[in-house]
């Protein structure tokens, strides 16, 4: 299934039903008065956050949504039926904006939350409402009011506790498949992962937490290079960044090159993103040359806590998960790298 994280939709609430012009007509009652009922209110368009969805894929082929109109009023003071509300479900993490102004209308965070995004029109009043002492037989009623119409932009930003970042082929997909039930496609070429992948990690103690495999970033990503901004935005809401570096590919002439390149992209996209807490992980320690590269990295950044792992063999994974679990479940967070 294709990962869809940004769509524009048109929504229209239902129109109110018109009021009825009617007079009481019963045998042996020659002077029946007005008895036209009111029109029913139009249905609302409601946004509901659903845990069953994780992308905006269902909006790929359906962009127009309309709630039911209210029923018209009838004689004998019968009010028209209220139009049925239309409920549009979106995944957690969806931001609803006005497409014209860019104003944020609602931030869908918790499953089950609802928000009326377009209100139905009010039903018109029937002629019985207009009867007075001087006008006992009004022959007019109100039309129903139109429902609200909006063009909305739905912008999905994944909700995860930890975002795994790093250059292509750093081993992010292998790592997330090792520590969770997620099974992303894995291959030895750039941009194997074209869509973000979410996985749930169940530690021995503490609450499970969610990790997101963010597709590989490259130099110039914050300006749109490679997969660019499309995926940088998904790490904005993560509590912690796991910065994965391929220890076997560390350049002896510039051991911090790949690490600093990713951090420049984070800073270029958002200062807040660059300030997020990072856990630095040197991967592929089972490969030749990885040990020397890791030593050079650690010598140049003694201020950074570094974990050495092999996602392929499982070496060092337990220690890493213990540390991640402690940070996520204890709520201990700090800014900086």
| Structure confidence by residue, pLDDT tens digits, 283-296 | 999 998 899 999 99
For position 88, what pLDDT does the model report? 96
Q: Which CATH superfamily is domain 1-156 in?
A: GTP1/OBG domain (2.70.210.12)
Give the domain ranges of the chain: 1-156, 162-330
Q: Reduced to 3 states, what is the DSSP secondary structure of residue 174?
A: helix
Cα dihedral value 56, 59, 63, 65, nearest 10: -90
| Structure confidence by residue, pLDDT tens digits, 19-36 | 999 998 777 666 678 999
| Structure confidence by residue, pLDDT tens digits, 124-159 | 999 999 998 888 889 999 999 999 999 999 988 766
Residue 197 has pLDDT above 80, yes or no: no
Q: What's the CATH architecture for 162-330? A: 3-Layer(aba) Sandwich (3.40)
298 alpha carbon, distance to own chain's centre: 37
Instruction: Decide which of 82 and 211 is more confident.
Output: 82
For position 183, what pLDDT does the model report? 54
State the average pLDDT over residues 233-242: 78
- CA-nearest of 172, 303, 311, 162 to 240 is 162
CA–CA dist 88, 152 (Å, integer): 12
For position 184, what pLDDT does the model report? 44
Instruction: Decide which of 180 and 45 is more confident.
Output: 45
pTM of the predicted model over 0.85? no
Percent above pLDDT 70 for the chain: 84
Instruction: Decide which of 212 and 184 is more confident.
Output: 212
191: pLDDT confidence band, cut at 50, 70 and 90?
very low
For position 264, what pLDDT does the model report? 86
Percent above pLDDT 90 for the chain: 50
Residue 191 DSSP class: T
Q: In sequence order, what DSSP letters do the residues of 267-324 get, joined into one string?
A: HHH-HHHHTS-EEEEEE-TTSTTHHHHHHHHHHH-TTS-EEE-BTTTTBTHHHHHHHH
- CA-nearest of 228, 97, 109 to 155 is 97
User: 1-156 with 162-330: one CATH topology?
Assistant: no
Read off the tokens for 73: 């009023």
């Amino acid at each position: 299934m294709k990962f869809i994280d940004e769509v524009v939709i048109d929504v229209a609430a239902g129109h109110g039903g018109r009021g009825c012009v009617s007079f009481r007509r019963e045998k042996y009652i020659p002077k029946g008065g007005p008895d036209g009922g009111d029109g029913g209110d139009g249905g609302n368009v409601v946004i509901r956050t659903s845990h069953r969805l994780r992308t905006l894929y269902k909006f790929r082929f359906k962009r127009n949504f309309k709630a039911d109109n209210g029923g018209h009023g009838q004689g004998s003071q019968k009010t028209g039926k209220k139009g049925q509300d239309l409920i549009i479900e979106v995944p957690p993490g969806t931001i609803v904006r006005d497409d014209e102004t860019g104003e944020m209308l609602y931030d869908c965070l918790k499953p089950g939350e609802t928000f009326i995004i377009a209100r139905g029109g009010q039903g018109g009043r029937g002629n019985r409402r207009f009867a007075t002492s001087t006008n006992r037989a009004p022959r007019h009623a109100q039309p129903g009011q139109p429902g609200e119409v909006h063009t909305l932009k739905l912008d999905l930003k994944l909700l995860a506790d930890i975002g795994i970042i790093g250059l292509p082929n750093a081993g992010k997909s292998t790592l997330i498949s090792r520590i969770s039930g997620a099974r992303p496609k894995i291959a030895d070429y750039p941009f194997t992962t074209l869509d973000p992948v979410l996985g749930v990690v169940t530690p021995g103690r503490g609450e499970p937490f969610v990790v997101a495999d963010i597709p590989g970033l490259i130099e110039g990503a914050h300006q749109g290079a490679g997969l660019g901004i499309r995926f940088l935005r998904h790490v904005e809401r993560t509590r912690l960044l796991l910065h994965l570096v391929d220890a076997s590919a560390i350049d002896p002439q510039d051991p911090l090159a790949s690490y600093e390149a990713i951090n420049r992209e984070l800073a270029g996209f958002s200062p807040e993103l660059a300030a997020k807490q990072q856990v630095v992980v040197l991967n592929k320690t089972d490969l030749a040359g990885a040990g020397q590269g890791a030593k050079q990295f650690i010598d140049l950044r003694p201020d950074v806590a570094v974990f050495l792992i092999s996602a392929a063999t499982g070496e060092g994974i337990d220690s890493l998960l213990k540390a991640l679990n402690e940070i996520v479940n204890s709520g201990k967070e700090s800014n900086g790298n």
